[in-house]
Amino acid sequence: MAYKTILVEKKKHVGLLTLNRPDKLNTLSVKLFEEIVLGLEELEQDDEVHIVVVRASGRAFCAGRDVSDPTESSLERHQHRRFARLAATIAKMGKPVIATVQGPATAGGFGLALACDLVIASEDARFGMTAINVGLFGFGPALVLSRSLGNKKALELLLSGDLINAAEAERLGLVNRVVPRERLDETAMELAEKLAKKSPVALQMGKRGFYTMADMEYLKALDYSEALISILHATEDVEEGIKAFLEKREPVWNKR
């Protein structure tokens, strides 16, 4: 499919989706919102792709909403519907999604990074829920922030609009790793390729099960976990994984 605001490509079992509006700091226009969702859906449906990396061209990951977009004259609630659709798309994907962040990731851009399962940031990355600074409030990004951070600190970031650097984001658990800018893509690909070698079935069941259990009452989540174990143990990948381990060789997984 031909895209105007993103690039989609594959490297072995890793799908790469690149935000490609560097002259606009990759701000979220209506078109970019739509194409990110379409690109993610394309990669989710590709059996050869096991891991997805979301990255950005230029000096910024994503500086939030594009207020210069003439199509943004519609009611503000439509903006939140777009973010909700984007976050829901990532949440529903079986494949783990890694965000690589350089420069500013603010407002909806911060929300996009947090909606991904893992985040690798460069040392120059900056994060902030800045909507409050222009009289708005990032309700959609607030939800993904609260899932990654305690309420007190989440509210401080949402109400103050302050920026935090990559080291602070890592300390708060919002970022998995911080690396020099020149090693950002390399580090992300190393992690993506490492995960892509795992069983696709285990990756997808693991991701979905993790988030489902997080939203369940504790005792029900324990029962659910036992059900997942039974289902996973009945798959060919488990049999192949154990056999490969005993034979001291690399496993050959099913595609799905």
Amino acid at 251: P
Tell me, what's the pLDDT at 76? 47
Tell me, what's the pLDDT at 77? 45
Tell me, what's the pLDDT at 15? 97
Tell me, what's the pLDDT at 185? 95
List the chain pLDDT tens, one digit each, 256 residues. 789 999 999 998 999 999 999 999 999 999 999 999 999 999 999 999 999 999 999 999 999 987 776 655 554 445 557 899 999 999 999 999 999 999 999 999 999 999 999 999 999 999 999 999 988 888 889 999 998 998 999 999 999 999 999 999 999 999 999 999 999 999 999 999 999 999 999 999 999 999 999 989 999 999 999 999 999 999 998 888 988 888 898 898 876 5
Cα dihedral 159, 66, 122, 119 sign: positive
- Cα(205)–Cα(227) distance, integer angstroms: 11
Nearest to 236 by CA among 217, 216, 256: 256
Tell me, what's the pLDDT at 253? 87
8 A C-beta contact, residue 30 and residue 71: yes
Tell me, what's the pLDDT at 131? 92
Tell me, what's the pLDDT at 75? 43
Q: Checking DSSP bridges between strand 118-122 and strand 97-101, what pairing results, if any? A: parallel
Residues 6+ apart with CB under 8 A from 139: 80
8 A C-beta contact, residue 126 and residue 106: yes
- The 3-class SS string of the chain reads CCCCCEEEEEECCEEEEEECCHHHCCCECHHHHHHHHHHHHHHHHCCCCCEEEEEECCCCCECCECCCCHHHHCCHHHHHHHHHHHHHHHHHCCCCEEEEECCEEECHHHHHHHHCCEEEEECCCEEECHHHHHCCCCHHHHHHHHHHCCHHHHHHHHHHCCEEEHHHHHHCCCCCEEECHHHHHHHHHHHHHHHHCCCHHHHHHHHHHHHHHHCCCHHHHHHHHHHHHHHHHCCHHHHHHHHHHHCCCCCCCCCC
Q: Is this model's pTM higher than 0.75 or not?
A: yes
